[in-house]
């Protein structure tokens, strides 16, 4: 009997596809339902961020960083501003530091909520998605109260903040903390520990620790592989060393360490830790003027600085080279999603199409961050 | 034949043309409001309001949607197989609608009371596979083809647990006629087959078997209608929309209509087999509730409840993967139904 | 480990392949490495027991000065918790440098990006294609002498 002739099927997933989280294109080579090769094609959202920055002054770059990872603007701003301040040698007032931390942690919750919601959506559960977005809306309302914008804030300035917070913001934030704690449990009940959801994610796309470290994977994706590393704890940028919080790692409660479920659950538990940080910070904000350290003219010396921060997606770093003029000579953004995505081929080979969707979702990528 | 129209109008051609009309009207109305109902149900589950701009509670929403769909251009891809592409949605709908012929809406209204009713239903509704595969193939789209192939694998596999779990009732009732199933389960809720059917006290041993059978039948029919958690045919996060990708306008609406029609049809079959069909749950205690008009009410109420459960599941659960779907069918559902079948056979011999 | 210790260690092994350590620059000290030895240096940095730079945090291509491009390596060690900045100068007339993608998998895409935007060629890279720009784009935008083309595939570029 002659062999049955079979062919490999090439499928183009994206740039327009509901579960590529933006305009990412994956060229899948399939053997039946089994994926034999994944080729990511990037660049559909490339906006020349780095080129633009060379024509801007330092404060003008901040709105551009907003648009990099648009679900996570506060953390983007913070990373860039910290790098610029390091270059300028500015010490910002205590009040500014506290408010920055609160904002970034609120942003982290918002970003993780999107990650969890869309991940549920990838798995076919649409309801948790809306629950998450409902809570995210509350966070965005808090931001709106402070700076008027809901998504792209331009809030953290070099040397300060664009607006001071109001007492109303403090009470609203406390209310939010009280409201949100039980909601995390609810989301866990609804999605994280759902039998079908665990079946779909546990044991899928296992990313071993050494591969993860070598490939530059960071953030919840790295911690899902069991590496207990968080720049907030280990690098202590800003004032994170003053707060008491735990670093969540995937510990293989379901599935194996490093699989999709563990990457996912790290985010679910990190929201709780963010709440703890906000709780500690919100009561201790010192008095002061948030714009007292904002320089009139930002003109750093010749030199360069590199600051790494823990954004919700992973290690977000800015590398700024100054030539002593008003415009930065070169800005390079080390985006977490870019590095995290690069392992997708390695860990999705041999899985099914549906698993590729789950693996991609478990990285929590944002294309604005990858393509810059 | 137990149909009131035959009695009124006599046994002639006109009657046979008129008999399906109420059913067709019901299917269309049901599909319109089931879509709205689904959107409302999902809205409630998700803390939303749902459609509310068209008339009160959005009652006109789906009608306007259909009007929009009718106006839309039918786009047929250049490289598609035009003939198959065009007829596929109609095959799917027709196959589903033909299943309605044996649904006993009431003791005096059934399309045809075939003595092979249940067998006919399984035979005819599985024809919709051909339509879906045709659509997937003719679209000339890899995602569609994937969707089509998945549907075939899925529906053909789930035919087996569906038929086997229905067979349990067939063995107890000793008939395949849908009207007979409903008639046998007279005398109140305790005589429904989910509670072991009519019989002496000893039927208590049957209850767990019957409940399991009913659940399996429901799960399998859920898989056959391609609803979440088994909607791998459409699987919007991986296959975008499966076989529906290239369809637009009314041809897409046909698929949609067929899906909702099938939801009700399979619910009707589960109702008839396990939940007493058109029988009132109060049996002879309140004879008034067992008149033909009320029978229609009971039948619709029970079936619609099952339809609601389907929606409920859809908006709660994630989707399974294709291999998990198959594992569940071949490794769990089929062995369990076989054991059930054996136990019921044993029961029949011993009593 | 302090940067001077790391530097001395490297200097001992690679000699002339390592330039002088610059500590007086804002903000962090760094040193230059020879572009033709960078692969060996990288391998040493990763595998040496007392260094263990298991993570390439960032790799940036820079149009460094009038005659040179540069690649900047930001290294970090998860095992030991220290970091290091290494730079490689590449003359514009011959923009070639050894790849480190076989040492750190993270370098794969970063090198493609540097090639794409700044235009240095990484020799030995398994798949050196453009990554962010279209395949048929001309020029490397982050060079200082880059001129935005008038047309791309018949479409006007500046608007």
Q: What band does B1 get if pLDDT is binned at 50, 70 and 90?
A: very low
What percent of chain A has pLDDT above 90?
2
Residue of C nearest to A372 (CA): C132
Whether the per-residue pLDDT at A337 is higher than 80: the answer is yes
Separation in Å, CA of C55 to nearest CA in chain A: 6
Q: What band does C39 get if pLDDT is binned at 50, 70 and 90?
A: confident
Q: What is the pLDDT of residues B193-223, one digit of tens each?
A: 877 777 777 777 788 888 888 888 888 888 8
Q: Looking at the complex, does the CB of residue A299 fall below 8 Å from at least one CB of chain C?
A: no
CB contact under 8 A, A342 and C56: no
In a domain, A28, yes or no: no
pLDDT computed for residue A69 by the predictor? 84
Side-chain half-sphere CA neighbours of B114 within 13 A: 14
Bridge partners, A316 (sequence order): A309
First to last CA, chain C: 52
Q: How far apart are CA A173 and CA A167, in angstroms?
A: 10
Q: Which tokens in the block code for residue B89?
A: 């949605």
Q: What band does C81 get if pLDDT is binned at 50, 70 and 90?
A: confident
Based on the structure, what is the number of domains in chain C?
1
Q: How far apart are CA A257 and CA A263, in angstroms?
A: 8
Chain A residues touching B237 at Cβ < 8 A: 18-19, 121-124, 354, 357
Q: Which tokens in the block code for residue B321?
A: 């993967």
Give which of C22, C26, C116 to mutate to test A binding, by max A Cβ within 10 Å: C26
Whether the per-residue pLDDT at B33 is higher than 80: the answer is yes
CB contact under 8 A, C60 and A319: yes
Q: Looking at the complex, does the CB of residue A27 fall below 8 Å from at least one CB of chain B?
A: no
Chain A residues touching B231 at Cβ < 8 A: 124
B123-127, B183-187, B335-339, C142-146: which is most confident: B335-339
Contacts of A171 (CB under 8 A, 6+ apart): none
Q: Looking at the complex, does the CB of residue A223 fall below 8 Å from at least one CB of chain C?
A: no
In a domain, A27, yes or no: no
**Which whole number is the average pLDDT over B223-237?**
77
Chain A residues touching C25 at Cβ < 8 A: 303-304
pLDDT computed for residue B126 by the predictor? 82
pLDDT computed for residue C55 by the predictor? 86
Separation in Å, CA of B196 to nearest CA in chain A: 30
**Which whole number is the average pLDDT over A193-198?**
86
Question: Where do we find the tokens 């030199």?
Answer: A303
Closest CB from C26, C56, C109 relative to A87: C26
- CA trace torsion B220, B221, B223, B227 (10° rounding): -140
Whether the per-residue pLDDT at A263 is higher than 70: the answer is yes
Based on the structure, what is the number of domains in chain B?
1
Chains in contact with chain A (at least 3 beta-carbon pairs closer than 8 A): B, C
Residue of A nearest to C84 (CA): A306
Which CB contacts under 8 angstroms, 24+ apart, belong to A317-325? A317/A79, A317/A83, A317/C57, A317/C58, A317/C74, A318/A65, A318/A79, A318/A80, A318/A82, A318/A83, A319/A83, A319/C58, A319/C60, A319/C72, A319/C74, A320/A80, A320/A83, A320/A84, A320/A87, A321/C62, A322/A87, A324/A299, A324/A300, A325/A299
> CA angle, corner B187, sides to B183 and B193, nearest 5?
65
Question: Where do we find the tokens 């961020």?
Answer: A49
Q: Which tokens in the block code for residue C108?
A: 């794969």
Residue of B nearest to A126 (CA): B315
Beta-carbon pairs below 8 A across chains A and B? 77
Question: Where do we find the tokens 């391998």?
Answer: C43
Instruction: Judge A/C contact: 3 or more CB pairs < 8 A.
Output: yes
Closest CB from B146, B240, B318 relative to A200: B318
Residue of B nearest to A117 (CA): B318
**Mapping DSSP to helix (H, G, I), strand (E, B) and coil, where does residue A323 land?**
coil
Chains in contact with chain C (at least 3 beta-carbon pairs closer than 8 A): A
Bridge partners, C60 (sequence order): C72
Q: Which tokens in the block code for residue B159?
A: 């035919």
Burial B144-181 (b: 16+ CB within 10 A, else e): bbbbbbbbbbbbebbbbbbbbbbbbbbebbebbbbbbb
Are B124 and B269 a contacting pair, CB within 8 Å? no
**Which whole number is the average pLDDT over B145-153?**
85
Separation in Å, CA of C104 to nearest CA in chain A: 5
Separation in Å, CA of C43 to nearest CA in chain A: 12
What's the CATH code of the domain at A304? Answer: 1.10.645.10
Q: Looking at the complex, does the CB of residue C58 fall below 8 Å from at least one CB of chain A?
A: yes
Residue of B nearest to A31 (CA): B146
Q: What band does A292 get if pLDDT is binned at 50, 70 and 90?
A: confident
Chains in contact with chain B (at least 3 beta-carbon pairs closer than 8 A): A
Q: What band does C159 get if pLDDT is binned at 50, 70 and 90?
A: low
Bridge partners, C155 (sequence order): C152
Chain C residues touching A301 at Cβ < 8 A: 26
Q: Looking at the complex, does the CB of residue A256 fall below 8 Å from at least one CB of chain B?
A: no
Lowest-confidence range among A160-174, C11-25, C63-77? C11-25
Q: How far apart are CA B236 and CA B286, in angstroms?
A: 48
> CA angle, corner C52, sides to C50 and C56, nearest 5?
150
Q: Which tokens in the block code for residue A127?
A: 């309801």
- Residue C76 phi/psi, 5-degree rounding, is -145, 150
- Residue B9 phi/psi, 5-degree rounding, is -105, -5
Query: How distant, in Å, are the alpha carbons of A232, B180, B274 from that of B279?
Result: 66, 12, 11
pLDDT computed for residue A236 by the predictor? 78
Closest CB from C25, C78, C109 relative to A338: C109
**Which whole number is the average pLDDT over B114-130?**
85
Measured in residues, chain A has a length of 372
**Mapping DSSP to helix (H, G, I), strand (E, B) and coil, where does residue A335 land?**
coil
In a domain, A34, yes or no: no
CB contact under 8 A, C131 and A43: yes
CB contact under 8 A, C105 and A216: yes
Lowest-confidence range among A7-16, B227-236, C148-157? B227-236
Of residues A238 and B233, more confidence is placed in: A238
Contacts of C122 (CB under 8 A, 6+ apart): C97, C98, C99, C101, C111, C114, C115, C128
Of residues C147 and A332, more confidence is placed in: A332
Q: What is the pLDDT of residues B281-299, one digit of tens each?
A: 777 777 777 777 788 888 8
**Angle formed by the axes of helices B249-274 and B117-125, to 10°?**
150
**Mapping DSSP to helix (H, G, I), strand (E, B) and coil, where does residue C19 land?**
strand
In a domain, A30, yes or no: no
Whether the per-residue pLDDT at A163 is higher than 60: the answer is yes
Burial of C156 per CB tally in 10 Å (0-12, 13-18, 19+): exposed
What's the CATH code of the domain at C48? Answer: 3.30.460.80
CB contact under 8 A, C25 and A321: no
CB contact under 8 A, B322 and A33: yes
Q: What is the pLDDT of residues B11-26, one digit of tens each?
A: 777 777 777 788 888 8
* Chain centroid, CA A132 distance in Å: 16
Q: How far apart are CA B26 and CA B22, in angstroms?
A: 6
Nearest to B181 by CA among B194, B190, B199, B169: B169
Burial of B94 per CB tally in 10 Å (0-12, 13-18, 19+): middle
Q: How far apart are CA A255 and CA A251, in angstroms?
A: 9
pLDDT computed for residue C127 by the predictor? 85
Q: How far apart are CA B240 and CA A17, in angstroms?
A: 7
Q: Looking at the complex, does the CB of residue A45 fall below 8 Å from at least one CB of chain C?
A: no
Burial of C129 per CB tally in 10 Å (0-12, 13-18, 19+): exposed
Whether the per-residue pLDDT at B174 is higher than 50: the answer is yes
Residue C125 lies in domain: 3-156
CB contact under 8 A, B320 and A196: yes
Lowest-confidence range among A270-274, B22-26, B239-243? B239-243
- CA trace torsion B135, B140, B145, B151 (10° rounding): 0
Side-chain half-sphere CA neighbours of B91 within 13 A: 16
In a domain, A131, yes or no: yes
Q: How far apart are CA C56 and CA B191, in angstroms?
A: 72
CB contact under 8 A, C25 and A303: yes
What percent of chain B has pLDDT above 90?
0
Average pLDDT, chain A: 86
Between positions 233 and 262 of A, the ones with CB within 8 A of C are 234
- Residue A318 phi/psi, 5-degree rounding, is -120, 135
Are C119 and C128 a contacting pair, CB within 8 Å? no
A4-13, A329-338, C44-53: which is most confident: A329-338
Are B258 and B92 a contacting pair, CB within 8 Å? yes
**Which whole number is the average pLDDT over A357-364?**
87
Look up residue A286 and give its DSSP letter: P
Question: Where do we find the tokens 């408010």?
Answer: A99
Q: What is the pLDDT of residues A297-306, one digit of tens each?
A: 888 888 888 8
Whether the per-residue pLDDT at A276 is higher than 60: the answer is yes
Query: How distant, in Å, are the alpha carbons of B98, B151, B217 from that of B165?
Result: 22, 21, 6
Segment holding A38, helix H or strand E: strand A34-41
Per the rule left: phi > 0, alpha: psi between -120 and 50, beta: everything else, A54 is alpha
Whether the per-residue pLDDT at B29 is higher than 80: the answer is yes
> CA angle, corner A335, sides to A363 and C143, nearest 5?
145
Q: Looking at the complex, does the CB of residue A298 fall below 8 Å from at least one CB of chain C?
A: no
Residue B145 lies in domain: 4-350
Average pLDDT, chain B: 83
**Which whole number is the average pLDDT over A326-330?**
87
pLDDT computed for residue B4 by the predictor? 67
Based on the structure, what is the number of domains in chain A?
1
CB contact under 8 A, C105 and A42: no
Separation in Å, CA of C15 to nearest CA in chain A: 26
Closest CB from A17, A33, A199 relative to B320: A199
Q: Looking at the complex, does the CB of residue C78 fall below 8 Å from at least one CB of chain A?
A: yes
Instruction: Judge B/A contact: 3 or more CB pairs < 8 A.
Output: yes
Whether the per-residue pLDDT at A1 is higher than 60: the answer is no
pLDDT computed for residue A2 by the predictor? 66
**Mapping DSSP to helix (H, G, I), strand (E, B) and coil, where does residue A320 land?**
strand
Q: What is the pLDDT of residues B300-330, one digit of tens each?
A: 888 889 888 888 888 888 888 888 888 888 8
Chain A residues touching B240 at Cβ < 8 A: 17-18
What percent of chain B has pLDDT above 70?
97
Average pLDDT, chain C: 84
Q: Looking at the complex, does the CB of residue A196 fall below 8 Å from at least one CB of chain B?
A: yes
Q: Which tokens in the block code for residue A335?
A: 């985006």
Q: Looking at the complex, does the CB of residue C27 fall below 8 Å from at least one CB of chain A?
A: yes
């Amino acid at each position: 009997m002659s062999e049955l002739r079979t062919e490999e099927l090439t499928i183009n997933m994206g740039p327009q596809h509901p579960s590529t989280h933006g305009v990412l294109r994956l060229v899948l080579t399939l053997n039946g339902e089994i994926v034999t090769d994944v080729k990511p094609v990037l660049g559909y959202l490339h906006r020349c961020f780095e080129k633009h920055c060379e024509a801007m002054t330092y404060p003008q770059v901040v709105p551009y960083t907003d648009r990099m990872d648009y679900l996570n603007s506060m953390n983007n701003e913070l990373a860039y501003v910290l790098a610029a301040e390091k270059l300028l040698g500015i010490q910002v007032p205590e009040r500014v530091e506290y408010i920055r931390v609160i904002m970034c942690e609120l942003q982290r919750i918002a970003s993780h909520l999107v990650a969890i919601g869309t991940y549920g959506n990838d798995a076919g559960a649409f309801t948790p998605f809306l629950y998450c977005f409902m809570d995210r809306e509350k966070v965005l309302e808090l931001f709106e109260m402070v700076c008027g914008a809901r998504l792209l804030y331009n809030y953290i300035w070099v040397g300060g903040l664009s607006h001071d917070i109001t007492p109303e913001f403090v009470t609203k934030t406390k209310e939010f903390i009280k409201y949100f704690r039980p909601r995390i449990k609810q989301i866990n009940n609804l999605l994280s520990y759902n039998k079908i959801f665990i079946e779909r994610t546990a044991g899928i796309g296992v990313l071993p620790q050494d591969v993860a470290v070598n490939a530059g994977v960071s953030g919840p994706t790295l911690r899902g592989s069991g590496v207990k590393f968080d720049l907030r704890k280990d690098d202590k940028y800003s004032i994170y060393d003053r707060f008491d919080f735990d670093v969540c790692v995937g510990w293989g409660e379901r599935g194996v360490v490093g699989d999709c479920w563990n990457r996912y659950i790290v985010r679910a538990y990190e929201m709780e830790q963010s709440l703890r940080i906000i709780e500690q910070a919100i009561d201790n904000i010192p008095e002061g003027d948030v714009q007292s350290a904002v320089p009139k003219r930002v003109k750093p010396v010749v030199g360069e600085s590199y600051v790494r921060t823990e954004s919700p997606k992973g290690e977000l770093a800015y590398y700024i080279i100054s030539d002593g003029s008003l415009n930065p000579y070169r800005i390079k953004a080390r985006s977490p999603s870019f590095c995290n995505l690069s392992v997708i081929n390695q860990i999705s080979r041999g899985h099914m199409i549906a698993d590729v969707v789950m693996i991609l979702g478990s990285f929590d990528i944002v294309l604005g961050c990858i393509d810059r | 034949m137990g149909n009131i129209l035959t009695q009124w109008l006599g046994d002639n051609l006109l009657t046979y043309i008129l008999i399906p009309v109420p059913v067709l009207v019901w299917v269309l109305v049901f599909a319109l409001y089931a879509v709205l109902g689904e959107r409302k149900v999902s809205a409630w589950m998700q803390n939303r309001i749902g459609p509310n701009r068209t008339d009160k509670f959005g009652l006109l929403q789906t009608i306007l949607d259909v009007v929009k769909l009718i106006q839309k251009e039918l786009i047929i891809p250049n490289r598609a197989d035009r003939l198959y592409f065009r007829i596929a949605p109609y095959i799917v709908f027709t196959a589903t609608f033909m299943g309605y012929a044996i649904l006993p809406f009431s003791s005096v209204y059934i399309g045809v009371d075939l003595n092979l009713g249940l067998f006919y239903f399984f035979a005819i509704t599985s024809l919709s596979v051909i339509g879906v595969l045709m659509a997937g193939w003719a679209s000339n789209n890899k995602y569609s083809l994937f969707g089509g192939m998945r549907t075939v694998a899925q529906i053909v596999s789930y035919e087996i647990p569906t038929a086997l779990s229905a067979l349990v009732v067939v063995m107890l009732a000793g008939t395949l006629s849908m009207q007979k199933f409903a008639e046998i389960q007279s005398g109140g809720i305790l005589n429904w087959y989910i509670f072991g059917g009519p019989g002496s006290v000893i039927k208590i041993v049957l209850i767990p078997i019957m409940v399991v059978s009913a659940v399996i039948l429901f799960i399998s029919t859920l898989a056959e209608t391609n609803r979440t958690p088994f909607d791998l045919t459409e699987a919007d996060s991986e296959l975008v929309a499966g076989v529906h990708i290239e369809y637009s306008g009314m041809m897409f609406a046909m698929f949609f209509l067929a899906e909702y029609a099938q939801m009700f049809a399979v619910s009707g079959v589960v109702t008839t087999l396990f939940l007493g069909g058109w029988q009132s749950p109060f049996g002879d205690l309140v004879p008034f509730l067992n008149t033909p008009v009320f029978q229609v009410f009971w039948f619709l109420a029970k079936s619609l409840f099952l339809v609601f459960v389907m929606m409920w599941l859809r908006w709660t659960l994630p989707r399974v993967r294709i291999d998990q779907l198959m594992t569940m069918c071949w490794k769990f559902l089929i062995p369990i139904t076989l054991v059930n079948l054996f136990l019921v056979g044993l029961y029949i011999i011993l009593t | 480990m302090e940067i001077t210790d790391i530097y001395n260690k490297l200097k001992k092994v690679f000699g002339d392949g390592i330039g002088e350590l610059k500590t007086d620059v804002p903000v962090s000290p760094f040193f230059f490495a020879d572009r033709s030895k960078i692969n060996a240096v990288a391998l040493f940095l990763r595998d040496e027991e007392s260094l263990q730079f298991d993570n390439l945090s960032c790799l940036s291509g820079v149009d460094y000065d009038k005659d040179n491009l540069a690649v900047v390596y930001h290294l970090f060690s998860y095992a030991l918790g220290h970091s290091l900045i290494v730079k490689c100068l590449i003359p514009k007339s011959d923009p070639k440098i050894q790849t480190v993608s076989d040492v750190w998998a993270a370098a794969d895409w970063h090198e493609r990006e540097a090639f794409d935007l700044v235009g240095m060629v990484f020799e030995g890279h398994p798949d050196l294609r453009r990554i962010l720009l279209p395949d048929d784009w001309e020029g490397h935008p982050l060079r200082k002498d880059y001129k935005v083309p008038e047309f791309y595939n018949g479409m006007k570029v500046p608007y």
